[in-house]
Structure 1
Amino acid sequence: MSQLGVIVNYSFLIPLLLGVLSFSHHAKGVRVFLYYLLASGLVAIYSIVLGSQGTNNLHSVHFFAPIEFVWLYLLVHLWGGVKHTRLVQALLITGMFVIAIISGRYIHGLQQYPLIPVLYEATVLVFVMGTHLTQRLANRYVWYREPDMLISIGLILYFSIMAVTRLSFNALMGESTMGLLISIYHVFLVVSLLCNLMYGWAFWQMRLKGRKALAAS
């Protein structure tokens, strides 16, 4: 693993630490996102440990992707950004689990990357996060001061570049394109690091808002 890869893999500790420090000031949705960061960080560490032992770790993506999808989809719902009916919500969530099961059992297997479930997850989450962000911008909120908007932007960036990266690897894998794929992967790493820094800034903004509220009371 490259030095940049190591830095990015553990960069989730930055927002996690800032989230813990600002915990008492969290709005409900921001706290839910902190728990998600902790869970995804633990899964990442588990995958790193398996990879360092030469053991296939892709089953962790198969199992965590549906959980991640539900977690983040309901997070946007908590923020009021999802206007879907309960039926649509149930269909989208059920669809994720059905696709994940079919992928793991019949298409990719647990030893290969679950491209189809991950693309489904990325498409739906980018759409709902984008809808929430658009609504907030329309109400003239300043994005770099609003924790939910910072988190939404970070997630949109992450899932977008992740989908592009995985599609590129799936379509272009070969010796002649290895240099291009490495460049794409490095872009993915840089964007992932940027996203974690944005999450950290979101937690810090939550802390600032909380302290201002206390000072004004």
Structure 2
Amino acid sequence: MHVLLDNVGLFRRGFLGTVALTGLSALLALSLGTVLALFRVCPVPPLRAFGAAGVTVLCNTPLTLLFFGVTLGLPMVGLSGLSYFTLAVLTLGVYTSAFVCEALRSGVNTVDVGQAEAARSLGMSFSQTARLVVLPQAGRAVVPPVGSLMITLTKNSALAGGFSVYELFSVEKSLVERGYAILTVFLWVSVAYLLLILTISGLFRILEHRLAVSR
């Protein structure tokens, strides 16, 4: 317990860093993933091809390799003004967006084709049909898998600690370097991650319950 009490400031900073990193990355992943999902199901072949290519590349690229590519590659093309925190958000958000896209696309496939056809018969455009008819129903179906993706994103955020971003994993490294027992530090960091994951799980369970369709 004295490890936590003696270093409560470090733990608070690392915890808030992980919360901010996870939250911003999740917003980016959900937004970009929705756009990619629309590309995957839209009737325009170039957009479908672009969406498919993007998802294929991101899903088959190791996250650590992507971190190296972003943190080392973007400064080489003149984007050296971005902080490591911003680069980490971009990396985690873009990477997770590919999996969000596939989850949403699977949800779109559960929506009856007749509903989209009915919307088009009423004169609605593809974007209106997707935004007002298809995506709201698909969203209900994919709340559990998207929740699992957000939990995975939280755990993946630990990689940012190896790229000069201060979060919970950085706290562990700092305290071990100060001579604290690694198992004790690891225990408290694990408790912090567990608290975050349980909170996310609880929020998605509430969301799933509220969006459930009465039978």
TM-score (ref. length: structure 2): 0.29
* Rg comparison, structure with higher value: 2
TM-score (ref. length: structure 1): 0.28
